[in-house]
Amino acid sequence: MPVKNDGVVIVGGGVVGLSTAYFLGMAGVASTVVERDSIGSHASGFALGGLSPVTGSGVPDVLEAMAFDGMRIHAEMGAGLPSETGLETGYGSKPLLTLTFDEAEAEAAKDAVARQQGHEGYSVRWLSSTDARRVEPRISEEALGGIHVEGSAQVDPYRFSLALARAAEGLGASIRNGAVSGLVRQGGRVSGVRVGDETLPCERMVIASGPWSSEASEWLGIRVQVGPLKGQILRLRAPGPPVECSIGWNGNYATTKPDGLLWAGTTEEEVGFDETPTTEARDRIMASLHRLLPSLGDTALARQTACLRPVTPDRLPLLGHVPGMEGVILATGAERKGILLGPSMGRIAADILTTGTSDVGIDAFDPARFE
């Protein structure tokens, strides 16, 4: 399909923005992605990259359709992007084992199993402590059991972002560095985007700059209610064989990634736009790791990272048209599910721009819901 330039500017070079550019290119529409730093240099490049549409808050519920759509796209891209771009994304299967440590947690987990079952391609079951140790013998003796999920997967978020960028460029997108400082209107419609001292003409615009999307509030005349939720991850050299599944408890996790390191996390910190790794977070994550896998006490820190996830007051995405501003779409706020939901959010944004509609319901994510 011949590519045409329809004057689309995408603000943000993370997974959501790059997915939007990719799917626009698939529809024959070229776009310009404006990224203030470098591709995948914030949340999209430093997340864990765990993928499961049947676990986590909002799943299965209001996020269910988008989560399964994101999982489908990841499977397709996991197979296609390496041959398309020459870049491996680290996509592969990764079972989950979420542990419980008291009776209340165990009962809640058993209730959750009933809600999470019944999806083709996924096995969700409660395991006793004995059966859980057959999956991973090193889990804590204090664990009462846990939820085991098969059908989940993982991806390397940074490599995935680079592959998305290259694929989007191959479909006609251009990627440039710069900080967006405002937009130009003609009546109630966007006609340009200011990048430094330059104005890029555009007829349509997607704001997908994570927690920094809040900067668009004064441009758009509405309050974009999204902010940063800091999360930190440790990459550790650990003794013994790899931890083949992702071991979790109470929002914490530990798993061996394809780089051979044990990744352990994470935190949820409301500290503004501070991306500095801290010793307090390191100690907190190590404490949770020792709770999960006490025999892995002799680890060496290889790297500690921090990122800022975009989070809204109700912890649901902002996705859809900006009220009172024709041609502008917000696509952000996927918080801890950003890598899973990002490709679907990008596809939806591209569909809205090119066809005016989406096959995934997004009413619950309306950017005007906080007005």
Range of the domain at 327: 4-86+157-226+313-370
pLDDT digit string (tens) for 222-252? Answer: 899 999 999 999 999 999 999 999 999 999 9
Question: Who wins on pLDDT, 6 or 131?
Answer: 131
Q: Is the pLDDT of residue 59 over 90?
A: no
Length of the chain: 371
What's the pLDDT band for 3 if we cut at 50, 70, 90?
very low
Q: What is the dihedral of CA 159, 249, 133, 53, to 10 degrees?
A: -50
**What pLDDT is stored for residue 57 in this prediction?**
65
* Distant-in-sequence, close-in-space partners of 296: CB < 8 Å, separation ≥ 6: 138, 238, 239, 240, 254, 262, 289, 290
**What pLDDT is stored for residue 302 in this prediction?**
97
Q: Is the pLDDT of residue 371 over 80?
A: no
- Give yes or no: residues 108 and 235 share one domain: yes
- Give yes or no: residues 245 and 296 share one domain: yes
pLDDT digit string (tens) for 262-313? Answer: 999 999 999 999 999 999 999 999 999 999 999 987 899 999 999 999 999 9
CATH number at residue 340: 3.50.50.60
pTM of the model: 0.95
* Dist. CA 193–CA 47, nearest whole Å: 29
Mean pLDDT for the stretch of residues 354-366:
94
pLDDT digit string (tens) for 23-58? Answer: 999 999 999 999 998 888 788 888 999 999 998 766
Of 165, 67, 164, the closest CA to residue 119 belongs to: 67
- Give yes or no: residues 301 and 319 share one domain: no
**What pLDDT is stored for residue 2 in this prediction?**
36
Total domains in the chain come to 2
**22, 115, 163 from 26: Cα distances, Å:** 6, 35, 15
**What pLDDT is stored for residue 34 in this prediction?**
96
pLDDT digit string (tens) for 172-182? Answer: 999 999 999 99
DSSP 10-24: EE--SHHHHHHHHHH
- Give yes or no: residues 234 and 364 share one domain: no
Of 330, 336, 342, the closest CA to residue 366 belongs to: 330
Mean pLDDT for the stretch of residues 107-133:
93
Q: Is the pLDDT of residue 4 over 60?
A: no
**What pLDDT is stored for residue 1 in this prediction?**
37
**What pLDDT is stored for residue 43 in this prediction?**
80
- Give yes or no: residues 17 and 145 share one domain: no
- Give yes or no: residues 15 and 76 share one domain: yes
**17, 163, 222, 343 from 310: Cα distances, Å:** 13, 22, 18, 16
